[in-house]
Amino acid sequence: GAGVSQSPSNKVTEKGKDVELRCDPISGHTALYWYRQSLGQGLEFLIYFQGNSAPDKSGLPSDRFSAERTGGSVSTLTIQRTQQEDSAVYLCASSRGGRSYNEQFFGPGTRLTVL
C-alpha cells in the first residue's frame, strides 16, 4: 500500500514569508509526528498527534510554528515569518497508535530553504 507522502518535496522561500508543509499518513494510522532534521543532524521532535487527543506541541521551537491535523488524517505544518535558521528537512512519520510498540513510517521529507 501507499506509504507516508509529503508535499512539496522542495520549498524555497524568502525570509519573512509563511510556508505550509503537508503530510499524508498511511491510511488507518492514528499517530502522526513531525520532525526537523538540519543538515547532518539528528531528528528534532516538533509535534505529535494521537487520535483525537490534544497534540504534544512541546517540541515546537517558537510560536511561529504550528500544526494541524484535520479529520484525523492529513496534517499541515505551518511556519510563519520564516527565518534562515528554519532551513532544514522536515520529516513526517505515522504509526498505528493504540498501543505502545508501533513502528514509525517516515515520509520522504520536505527540504525547506529560506533565502
DSSP letter at 94 equals E
Residue among 25, 67, 69, 107 that touches another protein (CB under 8 A): 107
Find cell 516538533 and name the residue: 46
How far is the C-alpha of 104 from the C-alpha of 70, rounded, in Å?
Answer: 20
* Residue 72 sits in the site that holds another protein (CB under 8 A): no
Residue among 64, 76, 80, 97 that touches another protein (CB under 8 A): 97
* Residue 70 sits in the site that holds another protein (CB under 8 A): no
Find cell 543538515 and name the residue: 39
Nearer to another protein (CB atom), residue 82 or residue 93: 93
Which cell is 11 given? 520549498
How far is the C-alpha of 85 from the C-alpha of 53, rounded, in Å?
Answer: 30
* Residue 41 sits in the site that holds another protein (CB under 8 A): yes
Q: Which residues contribute to the site for another protein (CB under 8 A)?
A: 31, 33, 35, 40-43, 45, 48, 50, 56, 58, 91, 95, 97, 99-104, 106-109
